[in-house]
Homo-oligomer: A and B are copies of this chain.
Amino acid sequence: MKTKRSERLIDMTYYLLEHPHTLISLSLFSKKYESAKSSISEDLTIVKRTFSERGIGILETIPGASGGVKYIPKMNKQDISQFLDDLIEELNHSKRLLPGGYVYLSDLVGDPKWLRRIGRAIASQYMETEVDSVMTVATKGVPIAQSVAFYLDVPFVIVSRGSKVTEGSTLSINYVSGSSFDRIEKMELSRRSLDMGSKVLIVDDFIKGGGTISGMMSLVEEFNSEVVGATVIAENIFKGKRSVENYTTLLKVDSVDTDDRTINISKGNFSAGLK
C-alpha cells in the first residue's frame, strides 16, 4: 500500500538519523514506501530544508544513477558555541577540583545527554575528513570515543594499559607518562582491532604533558596507519613543552588554585578552527 507523505517524512527522518554517513538510494525509499521516485524526491527536498533550518544536520544529495542522499549529522557553529558555554558553566565549580589540578568529569562522560553533545561536537570537526577508526585509551576515554564514533559511524578501538588475556595477539609500545616523573609505561592494542593502513582519529578526556596522546600516535605508526587528528575535552595546565602539538581541545584549564579551591576554564583552540 502506498504510504502517505506524512508517514514517509517521519519514517525517513528516523531512517536517516539511524544511518548517518550512509548513501541511501531513492530506489530504497521508493520501494520501502511503495511510492514514486518523484514523490520521494519531493519528500527529500522538504527533509533537506528542515534538517538545515533546524540544525539537525546536512542532507547531501548525490545526483546520477548511483546517487541518492547522505545524512551528515554535523552540528552548526551556533550550537557548538552554545554547547561549549554550557560545558564551561558546568565545569567552573570548585567541587570539581581534584588533587593534582585535575577536574572531575566522570559524571559528564557517564551522562547520555552530555555525551550526545560532546560526541557530536567533536565529530563535527572531522565530517569532511576520511576517518576509519576512532582510538582512545582505557578507561575514561572510552565513552568519548564511542560517542564520536557514533556520529562518524565508524568503529572505535580501545588501547589498553595492561595485557588482557582474552584479546589474542597484541602490538605494544613504551611511552613516557606523567611528564614530571618521566615514568616509562606500556600501552597495547589487539592486532585484530585495527587494520593496517587505517586513518585514525585519537580522542581523550584530558591532555597534560601529552605522553598518552603521543603514545597512541606511536602505536598508530606501529600499525602502519595514519593519525588524521587528535582532540581532547580539556587541556590541563602544564609547565614545560608538551610532547605533542598537533591536537585540538574543546576547553582549556587556565588556572587552578588548590588553596582557594578556585578553577578557571575557557574555550580551547577547537572553537577557533570551526568552519
A residues with CB within 8 A of B: 5-7, 9-11, 13-14, 17-18, 46-47, 49-51, 53-54, 56, 98-100, 102, 104, 106-107, 110-113, 115-116, 138-139, 142-143, 146-147, 149-150, 153-158, 160, 164-168, 190, 192-193
Contact = CB atoms under 8 A, between A and B. Distances in A.
Contact of A5 (B6, B102, B167): B6
Contacts of A190: 106
A46 B168 contact: no
Contacts of A167: 98, 106
A14 to B, nearest CB: 5
Given A7-B53, A9-B10, A10-B13, 17 more contacts: A6-B9, A10-B10, A10-B50, A11-B50, A11-B54, A13-B13, A13-B14, A14-B17, A100-B166, A106-B158, A110-B157, A112-B146, A115-B146, A138-B138, A139-B139, A139-B142, A146-B147
Q: How many copies does the complex hold?
A: 2
- Secondary structure call for the A interface: helix
Nearest to A142: B142
Given A107-B193, A142-B139, A143-B146, A112 B155 contact: yes
A143 B115 CA distance: 12
A56 B157 contact: no
Contacts of A155: 107, 110-112
B139 A160 contact: yes
A46 B143 contact: no
The 10 closest A-B pairs by CB, nearest first: A13-B13, A10-B50, A138-B139, A142-B142, A102-B166, A112-B150, A7-B50, A110-B155, A111-B155, A11-B54
B168 A98 contact: yes
Contact of A165 (B47, B100, B160, B192): B100
Nearest to A99: B165
Contacts of A115: 146, 150
Contacts of A156: 110
Nearest to A98: B166
Nearest to A103: B166
A70 to B, nearest CB: 16
Contacts of A13: 9-10, 13-14
Given A14-B54, A46-B6, A56-B11, A192 B107 contact: yes
Nearest to A13: B13
Contacts of A149: 110, 112
A2 B142 CA distance: 43
